Amino acid sequence: MALLEPIEYEDASREVRAVYDDIRATRNTDFVNNFWKVLAHDPATLARTWAAAKQVMAGGALDPLTKELVYIAVSVTNNCEYCIHSHTAAARAKGMTTQMWTELMAVTALANQTNRIANGYRIDVDERFRAPLAP
C-alpha cells in the first residue's frame, strides 16, 4: 500500500493539474497512472520528473520503443514491480510483441549473469576496448 494516497485531478492544486494535463495531452489519453498521482504530494518533484521523462523518453537517436525496452531491463535488474508493469504496458502500446519481451528478458538475464563473471574473476579490460567514444 502506497505511503501516500494518489491525488485525483479534482483534488489537485493548479500546479499539479498542469502536469496531469500535460501527461494527458502528451499521451493522448485521459488516464493518469498512480506514479504521478502519488508523486503529486511533492509538486516540484512531480513537475521535474515528468519533464525529464517526457524529454528523455521521446524519440531521438533512439526510438521511443527501444527506450522503453531499456527502461524495462533496468527495472527488472532493480526489481521494481511497479516499473516493470507500467513500462511493459507502455512498450506494448508502442508495438512490443510478446516475443520481443521474452527476448528482452533473456538479454537482461544474460547481462546480469556475465556481469558477475567479469566482476568476480576481476577480468582486465582489453586495451582495444578502452578507446574513448568520438565526441
Task: Return the residues of window 18-77 that contact a second copy according to CB under 8 A.
Answer: 31, 33-35, 38-39, 41-42, 44-45, 48-49, 51-53, 55-57, 60-62, 66-67, 69-77
Residue 60 CA, chain-centre distance (Å), reads: 16
DSSP 61: S
E strands, the chain, where? Answer: none
Binding mask 99-118 for a second copy (x = CB under 8 A): xxxxxxxxxxxxxxxxxxxx
In terms of CB distance, is 10 or 81 closer to a second copy?
Answer: 81
Q: What angle do CA 42, 51, 70 make, to 5 degrees?
A: 105
In the complex, the smallest distance separating the C-beta of residue 25 from a second copy, rounded to whole angstroms, is 19
How many CA atoms does the CB half-sphere of 94 hold within 13 Å? Answer: 19
Size of the site for a second copy (CB under 8 A): 88
Applying CB under 8 A, among 17, 27, 92, 94 the residue interacting with a second copy is 92
Closer residue to a second copy, CB minimum distance, 25 or 61: 61
d(CA 10, CA 112): 44
